[in-house]
A = this chain, B = another copy of it.
Amino acid sequence: MHCPDQPGIIAVITEFINANGGNIVYLDQYVDKFNGIFYMRVEWDLENFIIPREKLSEYFQILYGQRYQLTYKLSFSNKRQRMAIFVSKMSHCLYDILARYIAGEWAVDIPVIVSNHPDLQIVAEQFNIPFEVFPINRDNKAEMEARELELLERYEIDFIVLARYMQILSDEMIKRYPHHIINIHHSFLPAFVGAKPYHAAYERGVKLIGATSHYVTADLDAGPIIEQDIVRITHKDTIDDLIKKGRDLEKIVLSRAVEKHIQRKVLAYNNKTVVFS
């Protein structure tokens, strides 16, 4: 939740939870003093909670929402989210995600993998997940995306992970999943926006390469950043070495971001993110 910063807001919310029989199991808050905004993430046990689950949002809105200009999101942690993975031809991020999924690391369902190329069908088959190919090109983009959206709805997808998906989404599509499409870009943004960042990094002679996971917005590679990391390189590294070293970075950075999103610990606001620990 977030709202204009105001005295006593923590006491009010925690008191509400305690007074109604909730036991707080997680609380983290943060005040952006520059903009005067209060952010909080609080998790509590509903077992002995007096207010019924289906009335909770209504009560909360009436009691606090308007009074404190509070924007909030209620989620029930026993409700598993449904995630679609978009891929093209590279498998490293896809394997990293599926290995975690199969091992039960994440409370998520992955009912479908979408691609603009048939190459990774074999990976989807290894994990018994439906694989749908939409061979998008300049001419058929609108139609293909319409069919993709249909598919996403059919599978009741909550959020999308672009695991090195090499195709720019239309604004139309992005608008349908605001702050619910996670991309991995293979540079430390805002350096090397756009295509071929490893080539650009090699050209510029940097001593570090990076990867950035962010929510997709209408501006290419400019959405709110969730996670970044880097690895050292030297003059000895060729472009192929950068690509190789970058792969490990990309998969770890993307998976960290996806995990935070699944745990509902990322709060996007003003093109930036608050990532709770």
Q: How large is the interface on A (under 10, 10 to 19, 20 to 34, 35 or more residues)?
A: 35 or more
CB distance from A192 to the nearest CB of B (A): 7
Q: Tell whether A60 is near chain B: CB-to-CB under 8 Å.
A: no
Q: Is the interface of A mostly helix, strand, loop or mixed?
A: mixed
Q: Tell whether A74 is near chain B: CB-to-CB under 8 Å.
A: no
Q: Tell whether A75 is near chain B: CB-to-CB under 8 Å.
A: no
> Which of A61-69, A141-149, A167-175, A225-233 lines the interface with chain B?
A225-233
Q: Tell whether A15 is near chain B: CB-to-CB under 8 Å.
A: yes
Q: Which residues of B contact A7 (CB under 8 A)?
A: 18, 23-24
CB distance from A77 to the nearest CB of B (A): 16
Q: Tell whether A154 is near chain B: CB-to-CB under 8 Å.
A: no
Q: How far is the CA of A114 from the CA of B26 in the complex (A)?
A: 42
Q: Which residues of B contact A18 (CB under 8 A)?
A: 7-8, 11
Q: Tell whether A71 is near chain B: CB-to-CB under 8 Å.
A: no
Whether A230 and B230, one on each chain, are in contact in the complex, defined by CB atoms closer than 8 angstroms, is: yes
Whether B102 and A99, one on each chain, are in contact in the complex, defined by CB atoms closer than 8 angstroms, is: no
Q: Which residues of B contact A50 (CB under 8 A)?
A: none
Give residues of chain A (53-108) contacting chain B, Cβ–Cβ below 8 Å. 91-92, 95-96, 99-100, 102-103, 105
Q: Tell whether A140 is near chain B: CB-to-CB under 8 Å.
A: no
Q: How far is the CA of A238 from the CA of B272 in the complex (A)?
A: 13
Known contacts A99-B99, A102-B91: does B10 contact A27 (CB below 8 Å)?
yes
List the B residue with the shortest CB-CB distance to A34. B238
Known contacts A191-B189, A227-B207: does B24 contact A14 (CB below 8 Å)?
no
Q: Tell whether A244 is near chain B: CB-to-CB under 8 Å.
A: yes
Listed from nearest, the 7 A-B pairs whose CB atoms lie closest are: A205-B272, A95-B99, A191-B191, A11-B14, A8-B18, A126-B126, A11-B15
The contact sample of 7 A-B pairs, CB cut-off 8 A, is A92-B103, A99-B99, A126-B126, A190-B191, A206-B225, A208-B230, A234-B275
